[in-house]
Structure 1
Amino acid sequence: MRSSGVTAFDPASTRLVIPGTANLRDLGGYPTTDGRTILPGRVFRSEALSRPGAQEALGVFEKVHAEHFVGLGLRTVIDLRSVEENEQDPSTWHEATGAEVLSLPILEGGEGTDNYFFGDLLSGTSTSFLVPDMVSFYKDILRRQGTVLGEVVRVLADPAKGPILVHCSAGKDRTGVTIALVLDALGVPRELVVQDYALTQQFRPNRVELHAEVFDGLGVALDDVRVLFESPPEAMEATLAHADEEYGGSRSYLLEAGGLDPADLEALERNLLGTVTH
C-alpha cells in the first residue's frame, strides 16, 4: 500500500451548502503525497439533483435552484445512474446549470441502487446487508466496470470539459468508488480518500430510520441493513486494498481495466493538480 503521509486537511471542508443538495462537494484542496493539491472548482461530486415537489413549476425550480448553482460554472455533469433510473427520476442538473450531461452508467437495470437491494430484502432472498456485502458490491464494480471508469477519467482529464460534476443517486456508492479511484490515482493520502468516501454518512445521516416501518414488517432488524444506507470507512479501505492486491493499485487498475495509457493519467494530473508546494 502506498504510504499515506500526514496532513491536517479536513475533508469535511469540501462540502458546499446549496439548497436542494446534501452531499455536494468541491474536491479542490485535497493534498497529494508529492506536495501538490487538487485545484478548486475543477471536480465536484454530489447526489442526483432531482426535481423538487410536483407542485413546483419548472420555472420556479429554475429560478430557485439555478441561482445557487451558476457560480459553479459547470460545463459537464457525469451521471453514473442507469438509464432506467434516469427515466424514473430524471436528473435536473442540466436545468439547474446548463451543463452538458454525459450518461456513463455504472451497472444497468438498477443494480447497486437502494431499490435493487431492497428487492432482495423484500423477496426474502436476503435478510441483511453488512459491510462484507458492500465490499463485495464494490469489488464487483471494479471487476465489471473498468471501461466506464476509464471513460470517466478521460472526461476528467479533458480541460475543455471542466468544471465537471460526478453523481449517481445518493452520491455514495457508485460515485464513492469512482471518486476514490481518482483521488487515489492522483496520490491523495489513502486515509483522506477513505474519509472523503465516509463523509456521505455524515452529510446524509439516519437514512435507515426512514425505512424502519418497512424493515419491521419484513422482520429485518435495522442493524442488519444499516450499512446499506451508510458509508463505513472499512468498506472503502477493503476496496482499495483489493485494488492494490488484484491490480497493483488504482493507477494500475485504470491502465489495465480502464483501458487508459500513461498519457491519460498525466493529462488527469495536469488538469486537476496544482504545482508542487514544497
Structure 2
Amino acid sequence: MTNNGFLLSSAPNFRDLGGLRTSSGHTVRTGLLYRSDALHTIDKEELPVYNGLGIRQLVDLRTEHERETLPDVTPEGADYAAVSVQGPQADGANFSAALADPEKARAMFADGLAERFMFGVYRELVADATALEGYRDLVERAAKGPTALVFHCSAGKDRTGWGAALLLTLLGVDRATVVSDYLASNERQENTDKWMRLLAANSGLSWEEVAPMTRVRAEYLETAFAHADEIYGSFDTYVTEGLGLSTDTVDRLRHRMLT
C-alpha cells in the first residue's frame, strides 16, 4: 500500500471490498473483489503493484465513448469486459458533453439543478434497461469467476458505487456499512476533481454549481434503493425480476466471496 493509504496513488479510488462483515456473521473475503475509478491513469511505477494483485477480470462500466477515449490499462493475465450500465443517450452518460456547451450546462446544472440531475442518475441506474443488463452481467461475472475481479467507471463513485452497493447487499452486508463504503469515495476524488474543474471552467458554471456531481451523498444511494422498492416492491424482487438473477447465481456469489 502506498504512503497515502491508497493501494494505487494513480487510481485513488481503487480499493478492496473485502473485510466487511455481514449481518449473518460472515466476512467478505479480501483480494477477490475490487472497485475503482478510471484505470487509464495507472502510473508505470505502480504497474508491479497493480499486476501483482492477481486480477483476472476487469469489468469496465463506462460508455463506449469513454472507453475509446481513455482506454484502460489491463492487468497482466486479466480478461477485459466492456459492460455498459448507461445507454449512449442517458443523461448520466452525457454530462461531460453538456458541460462543454455553456448554454446547455446552465440549463442542466445551474442554480441547484446539478443535485436534481444526480438524483435522476441514480434512479436511472436502477430502472434503465441497459443498467439492468449491465449490473446483472457484473454480478454473474463476480459469481462465476475467475477471480479476482475489478470493476470501475470514471470516478468510481456513482456507477461503480451502485454496483458495489448491489454486490455488498447481496452478500448480506447491512445498509449502514454499505453506505459507509459508498461514502469513502469522497476522500478519493483527486483525479476526478482535476478533470471536473477543467470541465467547469469551460462550462461557465461556478465550482459550487458543479460540486454536487463531484461527490457522493448518502441521499443519492438511498434514492437508488428507494427507487428499487418503488418499482419492484423490494430489493429482493429487484434482484430476481429486475436484474433477472437466479438463486443459484446469488448462492455462488456468496460461496465464492464469503468466509
Per the normalisation by structure 1, the TM-score is 0.80
Q: Deviations over 1:206-237 (max 9, x none)?
A: 95586557646655332222111111122112
Q: Tell me, yes or no, if structure 1 residue 148 matches structure 2 residue 127.
A: no
Does the 8 A contact of 1:139 with 1:242 survive in 2?
A: yes
The answer to whether the 8 Å contact 1:26/1:40 transfers is: yes
Tell me the amino acid that sits aligned with residue 244 of structure 1.
D
1:74 aligned to which of 27, 33, 55: 55
Structure 1 runs of 4+ aligned residues shifted over 6 Å read none
Range that drifts further, 105-114 or 177-186: 105-114
Aligned to 2:77: 98
Assess if the C-alpha contact under 8 Å between 2:85 and 2:133 holds in 1: no
Q: Which amino acid aligns with 1:136?
A: G
Matches within 5 A, 1:1-278: 16-50=6-40, 61=44, 64-92=45-73, 94=74, 96-109=75-88, 111=90, 112-113=92-93, 114-119=95-100, 123=104, 124-128=106-110, 129-144=113-128, 145-158=131-144, 160-204=145-189, 215=200, 218-274=203-259
Q: Tell me by how many angstroms 1:43 deviates.
A: 0.3
Displacement of 1:192: 1.3
Q: Aligned AA for 1:182?
A: L
Q: For the Cα contact (< 8 Å) 1:31–1:38, is it kept in 2?
A: yes
Q: 1:131 to 1:203 in 2, by over 3 A?
A: same
Instruction: Return closer, same or farther for 1:250/1:42 CA change in 2, 3 Å cut-off.
Output: farther
**Structure 1 residues 32, 249: closer, same or farther in 2, change over 3 A?**
farther
Identity of aligned residues (%): 29
8 A contact 1:66–1:97 mirrored in 2: no
Deviation larger for 43-52 or 140-149: 43-52
Aligned residues: 248
- Rg: which structure is higher? 1
